[in-house]
Amino acid sequence: MTVEESQQMKQKAIAVMTSGGDAPGMNANVRSIVRTIINKNCRAYVVMEGYEGLVRGGKDYIKECNWEFVRGWLSEGGTNIGTARCMEFRERKGRLTACKNLIDAGIDALIVCGGDGSLTGADLFRSEWPSLIKELKDTAIISTEKYDRYKHLNICGTVGSIDNDMSTTDATIGAYSALDRICTAIDYIEATAYSHSRAFVVEVMGRNCGWLALMAGIATSADYIFIPEKPAQTNSWEDQMSEIVTRHRANGKRTTIVIVAEGAIDNNLNPITCDDVHKVLSGRLNLDTRITILGHVQRGGTAVAYDRVIATLQGVEAVNAIIESTPETPSPLIAINENKITRKPLMESVALTKSVADAIAAKDFEKAMSLRDVEFKEHLNNFMSMNSSDKVLPKEITDKGMNIAIINIGAPAGGMNSAVYSITTYCLSQGHNPLAIHNGFTGLVRHDSVHPLTWKQMIGWQSKGGCEIGTNRHTPKEAGVEDIAALFLKHNFDGLVIVGGFEALVSLQQLQDARADYPSFRIPMVLIPATLSNNVPGTEYSLGADTALNSLMQYCDIIKQSASSTRARAFVVEVQGGNSGYLTTLASLACGAQISYVPEEGNISILQLEKDIQNLKDSFKTAKGRDRFGKLVLKATNASLRTWDSHTLAKVLTEEADGAFDAKAAIPGHVQQGGLPSPMDRTRATRLAIRAVKFLEEFGKNNVEQSATAKQLYASRFGETQYNESNEFIDDLIETAAVLGTKGSHLNFTSVKQIYETDSDLIMRMPKNIHWNHIREVADALVGRERI
């Protein structure tokens, strides 16, 4: 045995394979796993063609790979190492052959990216491994030495599935990409439907899971959805759907969209097909109806940013889990829970997932619903509430409801219209009066621009980009607090929802401070964070961040393609975000940027710049003109703002490269603010909006008898108690002016006073805690960047 072979024997060898249906993001997952294995000083292998590759074996199917093998995979759809069904592996004989093939290749551990069936097969393989390898030894197919070396096989799973049907994880790799395809298709369908006043029945994938149909229904304002977890009533679904569609049409809607999950059933488990729905819409309602079955379009194409990010982070964690595993460690599944990458027992997760289908088969639909992720039922209730919003007549609103004002503050962000739409439709469904303040506080003071929002007016807003009611950066103090207070009194606002970024946070705090002097501000007020910078304290996520990230990612993919078409070229891409490096960091991870600079790390040091230039030179030298070798350098606009702009940085890189490469500046600018909101921003906007309105209701005038705080709030507003001018009393109402923050998968209300005073860096316009900072280390490690 040579020294090199001896050294290899000491290194752990880890293989990765993809199995089951392909899903966007699988390539990102494999890339992350391969490069993390190499970073951990282990040997990386890929198994081609899924379980079929395990059974066939040999160097054509079980390949050792290097760092460059997975270059460029982030932006590619499908799975480059293939996936295939394998009947042989379902039999013990096939698994015995697979066992021998892994031993022959020198594999110690296996990571499988796939759905519940693929992961079940993986865990079965591990559980049988001791008996399989013993049989190979007893029949002299392998030596005792090899038996001792490979007698334990550790397995880890990552979930690649567009259905988002795996229990114990909030999202599966590929689900949001599939949702993006669906929403894009329905947006296109809606346009042609509007032209002809047609109805469209759209079938989406999902098998026993209605997540895609439900989320698409919310994101596109569909008229009706069919999902297996809440089956239609056998004898009444035709009547119910007809009533809703007829009402929507009578109230001014020209289009009808009905979404059918492929596993849709009635409560007697009879399938409901697109043809069944078509017969009702065309036969009973005389609508010009078309059927669109999206099929495998939903699986295709490049992954959206979210899937690239979670696939990458889960790949890193999968390798860590394998390295830390012992023979006694149960096979782990890498999940995402509350925005954190976690490890779950693989077989427990698979068993829970399979129990959903069992519950549906047993007609225990409540149990099936409970086994979905924590947001599923909430999303369904939200959809049903908003879908009934056109039932309420204007006179019913003013008689019993609250006057709820809606205002946008700050720069436009994807999802602002979705939030306003959801606030409005939910308000209408609950009998409230939604009032839009157009063009921010300046618009209010200058033009008294307050107008009621109607159901007909809101049609189509859920999927619109920009900001239909306008937005403005001016705070109340800049616009005139006294004038604003008088107008609040004039319009008799009972609650206020602010949608916006850091200026919105400052505005809410100013209104809170002014409560002592102006009783009209003594109403419940809530902020929904919305800014591509994602720099609002008190939340991990702001509306618009996902839309901006996807726009930037698509821009970078195109720029990188251009760079790879020219020998040895890098692009310096300037990224918006103010003093926040969130967008730069996530884009760096999603696009595989070689270098990124963010404001949080201070000025770009000469030493780091020298190191980065050398790294680029080495990379281009290693490439030797191979394809897919364009390089990206991402620079946040405010990173070393006084010293380096993107053009200057590009010139310096070119000058110092000594001919090894050249660099150009690329500035996407406000492309990052525009475009249609992503499905994630649309659906999150809906969830945040409805929670915000419920917060206003909690402290609203109709809850005065139930809530002591609401009673005090409204008593002080109308001067009915001795507390009217008491600052002490105003302090008691701190909790009624709050920021609605996303912490993991949970939504939390935190008083703006607390956030403003303890969690905010007011000078830098940033939260004090940077929750995404750890991602920078991962992004650098996966491109081989060395830090000073």
| Residue 198 annotated as lining a ligand binding site | yes
Q: Is 627 a catalytic residue?
A: no
| Residue 577 annotated as lining a ligand binding site | yes
777: Cβ contacts below 8 Å, ≥ 6 apart: none
| Residue 277 annotated as lining a ligand binding site | no
For 732-736, the CB contacts below 8 A with 24+ separation are 733/515, 733/522, 733/709, 734/512, 735/709, 736/523, 736/524, 736/525, 736/699, 736/709
| Residue 161 annotated as lining a ligand binding site | yes
| Residue 382 annotated as lining a ligand binding site | no
d(CA 36, CA 735): 45
| Residue 254 annotated as lining a ligand binding site | no
CA 428-434-438 angle, to 5 degrees, is 145
Q: Closest Cα to residue 512, out of 661, 305, 730, 719?
A: 730
783: Cβ contacts below 8 Å, ≥ 6 apart: 592, 593, 594
d(CA 432, CA 454): 11
| Residue 205 annotated as lining a ligand binding site | yes
d(CA 18, CA 25): 11
Q: Where are the alpha helices (DSSP H) in 110-198?
A: 116-138, 144-149, 175-196
| Residue 117 annotated as lining a ligand binding site | yes
| Residue 172 annotated as lining a ligand binding site | no
State the greatest distance between any 2 C-alpha atoms of the chain, in Å, as a whole number: 94
Q: Is the alpha carbon torsion for 539, 544, 546, 549 positive or negative?
A: negative
d(CA 752, CA 86): 57
d(CA 575, CA 594): 15
| Residue 776 annotated as lining a ligand binding site | no
Q: Three-state secondary structure along 563-624?
A: HHHCCCEEEEEEECCCCCCHHHHHHHHHHCCCEEECHHHCCCCHHHHHHHHHHHHHHHHHHC
Please check whether residue 408 is in contact with residue 469, taking contact to mean a CB–CB distance below 8 angstroms.
yes
250: Cβ contacts below 8 Å, ≥ 6 apart: none
d(CA 785, CA 788): 10
| Residue 118 annotated as lining a ligand binding site | yes
| Residue 768 annotated as lining a ligand binding site | no
| Residue 671 annotated as lining a ligand binding site | yes
| Residue 717 annotated as lining a ligand binding site | no
Distance of CA 567 to the CA centre of its chain: 35
In the block, tokens 């490469």 appear at: 661
| Residue 532 annotated as lining a ligand binding site | yes
Q: Active site residue: 108, 163, 307, 373, which one? A: 163
| Residue 592 annotated as lining a ligand binding site | no
| Residue 206 annotated as lining a ligand binding site | yes
| Residue 21 annotated as lining a ligand binding site | yes
| Residue 296 annotated as lining a ligand binding site | yes
The per-type count for the chain, helices as H runs and strands as E runs, is 30, 24
Token readout for 660 is 């090894």
| Residue 522 annotated as lining a ligand binding site | no
Enter the DSSP assignment of 464: -
Q: Where are the alpha helices (DSSP H) in 635-745?
A: 646-656, 679-698, 708-717, 727-732
d(CA 397, CA 404): 11
| Residue 162 annotated as lining a ligand binding site | yes
3-class state of residue 267 by DSSP: coil
3-class state of residue 328 by DSSP: coil
| Residue 765 annotated as lining a ligand binding site | yes
| Residue 298 annotated as lining a ligand binding site | yes
| Residue 473 annotated as lining a ligand binding site | yes
d(CA 650, CA 266): 61
Token readout for 223 is 């008229």
In the block, tokens 């006043």 appear at: 197
Which residues partner with 271 through β-bridges?
Answer: 265
Please check whether residue 245 is in contact with residue 284, taking contact to mean a CB–CB distance below 8 angstroms.
no
Q: Where are the alpha helices (DSSP H) in 220-297?
A: 237-250, 274-279
CA 594-595-601 angle, to 5 degrees, is 155
Torsion-angle region of 255 (φ positive above 0: left; ψ -120 to 50: alpha; else: beta): beta
| Residue 579 annotated as lining a ligand binding site | no
Q: What are phi and psi of 597, to 5 degrees?
A: -125, 130
| Residue 536 annotated as lining a ligand binding site | no
**Amino acid making up residue 402:** M
| Residue 706 annotated as lining a ligand binding site | no
d(CA 221, CA 320): 42
Distance of CA 284 to the CA centre of its chain: 39
Which residues partner with 761 through β-bridges?
Answer: 766
3-class state of residue 9 by DSSP: helix
Binding positions for beta-D-fructose 2,6-bisphosphate: 473, 531-535, 569, 576-578, 664, 670-673, 765
Binding positions: 21, 85-86, 115-118, 161-163, 198, 205-207, 262, 290, 296-299, 473, 531-535, 569, 576-578, 664, 670-673, 765
Binding positions for substrate: 161-163, 198, 205-207, 262, 290, 296-299
Catalytically active residues, by annotation: 163
Binding positions for Mg(2+): 116
Binding positions for ATP: 21, 85-86, 115-118
